[in-house]
Structure 1
Amino acid sequence: MIDVDISLFVEIISVLILMVLLNSMLFKPVRRMLEEREAKMSAVESDIEKYHRNAEQLVENYNNKLAEARAAGQQERDRLAAEAREEERQLAEASSKEAAARKEELLAGLSAQVETARKDLDAKAESFAVEIAQKLLGRAV
């Protein structure tokens, strides 16, 4: 059987004193360090999340600006192409008008030359006819 004597009370008191000492010197500081570590980890995780959101926002802004720049570039290309087509049309039209004017000028010159040649031939036609008739008939007409 267990004898209850003073040594039992001394042991109980020793264990209680040891628990109080361990609590104040070991358990509380370790718990405090763990809580501080948890707080720091939470702060770091919060910062990581904030930086992640910020990075996502920056990427989204970059993509939006890139899309805007591409759209602006496409609009500028389309505008320049339309200007080039219009300039090409104007040049073709001017060239066509110039060619038509030159054609009319040449036709007028040719008509004048034909008319001059016709008048010369008409004037000489009678003498040619007489000359041909003389050669065919072999005598003067």
Structure 2
Amino acid sequence: MINLDFTLLIQLVNFLVTLLVLNALLIRPIREIIKQRADKMSGLVGDTEGFLDAANQKLSNYETALSEARRNASAVRDAQKEQGLAREQELVTAASEEAQAILQASRKQVAKDVQEAMETLKGQVGALAEKATAKVLG
């Protein structure tokens, strides 16, 4: 059977002293270290979230600036294209006018040459007719 004597009281006191010593030497410092680690981890998680938010904000700003730059480049490209088309139209118009002027001058020169040839031939018609008549008559 179980004897409840003085040794049980000593064992109980021994257990309580050991529990207090272990609590003071091991359990409390380990709990403090675990608490410090948890605080540090929550701080690191907070920092990480802050960095992620900052990175997302910077990425958003970059994408906004990039889309704005693309819009500006597109506007500049369109303006340059319009200027190029207008300049092309001016050049085509000027070349067409120049070609018309050259063609007109060439036509006038050809008409003048034809007129001169006709006048020369009119002057020679009489002489040619006499030669032809002389040859036919004999």
Instruction: Tell me if TM exceeds 0.5.
Output: yes
Counterpart-to-counterpart distance in 1, 2:19 and 2:30: 15
Counterpart-to-counterpart distance in 2, 1:3 and 1:113: 154
More off after superposition, 120-129 vs 96-105: 120-129
Residue 5 of structure 1 is matched in structure 2 by: 5
Residues 74-132 of structure 1: CA deviation (Å, up to 9, x unaligned): 33223222222221221111011011111111211221222222222222222222221
Write the mapping of 1:57-76 to structure 2, written as runs, cut at 5 A: 57-76=57-76
Residue 54 of structure 2 is matched in structure 1 by: 54
Write the mapping of 1:8-27 to structure 2, written as runs, cut at 5 A: 8-27=8-27
Residue 81 of structure 2 is matched in structure 1 by: 81
Amino acid at match of 2:13: I
Amino acid at match of 1:5: D
Counterpart-to-counterpart distance in 2, 1:124 and 1:111: 20
Counterpart-to-counterpart distance in 2, 1:4 and 1:111: 151
User: Taking CA–CA contacts closer than 8 Å with sequence separation of 6 or more, which of the two structures ends up with the larger relative contact order?
Assistant: 1
Residues 38-76 of structure 1: CA deviation (Å, up to 9, x unaligned): 010111111112212222222232233223323322332
What percentage of aligned pairs have identical amino acids? 29
Aligned pairs, number: 138
Shift >4 Å, 4+ stretches: none
Residue 113 of structure 2 is matched in structure 1 by: 113
How does the TM-score come out when normalised to structure 2?
Answer: 0.86
Residue 137 of structure 1 is matched in structure 2 by: 137
